[in-house]
Chains A and B, each alone.
Chain A
Amino acid sequence: ANLKMSHVRPQDATIDVELRAFADTVAQATGGDVTIEIFPASALGDYTTVQERISVGAIDMATQPAATGADRQMQISSFPYLAGNWDQARAVYGPGGVVRDTMAELYAKQDITMLAAYPVYFGGISLNVDNPNPGSTDPNGIKVRVPGIKSFQLTAQALGYIPSPIPFSEAFTAVQTGVVDGVIGSGAEGYYASFRDVTKTYIPANTHFEVWYMIASNESLAGLDDDDKAALMAAAEEFEATRWTVAEADQAKNEQKLADLGATIAPLTDEQLAAMAAKVRAEVWPEVLKDVGEEWGQAILDKVASAE
């Protein structure tokens, strides 16, 4: 079978290279039965649409963020300040982690199989201006573009910024002309990919843990014979395991790339990070919990707390 796989980054980006390697592994393991054709740069549409098209079986696979439109509980994946460091992230989002398992269940409801989690980075703030107090959460009058996702808008506000919901397609230009002064909702890798020319300051505030998922349409998987399917699953498992070993270094590399282009990487102390986390947990979590179902969400948060 020839499977079409979408992802959101340009050709030759890290994930593109990794996915091509994955495709080679699958082709070899299945003796050429399963070939995977990679469509980079959202050529098959943005991730929200792609997820829906995977759900109906129109596209086979993707590696991308979770879209929350069809199920708001999927917001649990990008809950702000859920993990504080890489070890915690691995415990929560890695194999056997509570968020990972929860997401697999939620995907299953949409006729989608989650094959792997793909840890990307801890989120930060990219500014085209200076921020004299990068560690403070007091209102600073800096306008930032936020994606149209409630938790990001509330997080930006809690951290002292003025959130402005500008569509992604207009975001770069908006920062460049000064309609907004920066962007929240991505991390060093994302900012390097899309905003590197307008990033003067990068604040590694660990706003959220960005994790993407390799997902496949149940319909497409049903079309594979058992051996091929097992080989695909095994390759995905290996793909994820490898990624967990390089993700942290990859994040550091991308921060360095921003610095090499002249961006200031604002240093934050552990206390400052803890204060940010505390404020966001107090102000944003209750709001988002209301949306996803307080009982359901709290149960997961409890499990996260015990895992850490």
Chain B
Amino acid sequence: MDRFAKYLLTALICIVALGQFVQVITRYVLEIPVMGLEETMLYPTLWLYILGAVNASRENSHIRANVLEIFLSTRLQHIVLAILGEIISLIVGFWLLYWAWDFTRYSWRVWKESPTLYIPTFYSDVALVVGLALMMAYTAMHLWRHIRSLGGAEDAA
């Protein structure tokens, strides 16, 4: 899974970088415009953002302020705090997922197209609902892991 994530994310970010690079070369060096390159790049870009966020959930490496954690000392306290954090994430996340689903249905119904090549924007719009759903799945997994480690912590405490 980790290898897959590495290849996928690196490929996406390189595609996006190459697209921008080509834009400079064609404009500055060759002086010929590439119609529609920019709107095409939007699709890998948005998938890059969303899958990057999914991977952060998978690795549990989302940015957290963790101010309180510094003041807690025992392992049990840390686990309880982590459980609380994951529960809040799940509640808020499912609410956001609902609205992402609402947005996806809208995007499906309207079937918008990009301005010059007429690529349906649904193909990037759907990333949001897919991404949030995967993030919820990983968050639930982390919650389950914390709950299971609760037993061990009580023994230790």
- Which residues on A are within 8 Å of B, measured CB to CB? 52, 55-56, 68-70, 72, 141, 143, 148-150, 153, 157, 162-165, 167, 179-180, 291
Complexed CA–CA distance, A164 and B38 (Å): 10
User: Which 10 residue pairs spanning A and B have beta carbons closest together?
Assistant: A150-B116, A69-B112, A148-B115, A163-B33, A70-B112, A70-B110, A165-B38, A149-B115, A164-B27, A164-B33
Q: Give 11 CB contacts A-B under 8 Å.
A: A52-B110, A69-B121, A72-B118, A143-B27, A143-B31, A148-B39, A157-B33, A162-B32, A165-B36, A167-B38, A180-B27
Complexed CA–CA distance, A162 and B26 (Å): 11
* Residues in B20-37 with C-beta less than 8 Å from chain A: 27, 31-33, 35-37
Closest Cβ of chain A to B119, distance in Å, is: 11
Other-chain residue from B31, B39, B111, B118 in contact with A162 (beta carbon distance below 8 A): B31
Closest Cβ of chain B to A11, distance in Å, is: 28
Closest Cβ of chain B to A200, distance in Å, is: 20
Complexed CA–CA distance, A150 and B113 (Å): 12
**Which A residues are CB-close (under 8 A) to B118?**
72, 291
Which residue in chain A gives the minimum CB-CB distance to B116?
A150
Query: At the interface, is chain A mostly helix, strand, loop or mixed?
Result: mixed
Complexed CA–CA distance, A245 and B73 (Å): 75
Complexed CA–CA distance, A167 and B36 (Å): 12
Closest Cβ of chain B to A110, distance in Å, is: 8
- B33–A165 CB distance below 8 A: yes
Complexed CA–CA distance, A148 and B42 (Å): 12
Q: Is B95 close to A, CB under 8 A? A: no
**Which B residues are CB-close (under 8 A) to A148?**
38-39, 115-116
Which residue in chain B gives the minimum CB-CB distance to A166?
B38
| Given known contacts A153-B35, A162-B33, A165-B35, A69 and B116 CB-to-CB distance under 8 angstroms | no
- B35–A56 CB distance below 8 A: no
**Which B residues are CB-close (under 8 A) to A141?**
31
Which residue in chain B gives the minimum CB-CB distance to A157?
B33
Which residue in chain B gives the minimum CB-CB distance to A149?
B115
Centre residue among B31, B38, B116, B121 by max chain A CB count within 10 A: B116
Closest Cβ of chain B to A158, distance in Å, is: 13
Complexed CA–CA distance, A162 and B118 (Å): 22
**Which A residues are CB-close (under 8 A) to B116?**
148-150, 153
**Which B residues are CB-close (under 8 A) to A162?**
27, 31-33
Not counting A52-B112, A157-B33, A167-B38, a sample of 17 additional A-B residue pairs whose C-beta atoms are within 8 angstroms of each other reads: A55-B110, A69-B114, A69-B121, A70-B111, A72-B113, A72-B118, A148-B115, A150-B116, A153-B35, A162-B32, A163-B33, A163-B35, A164-B27, A165-B33, A165-B38, A180-B27, A291-B118
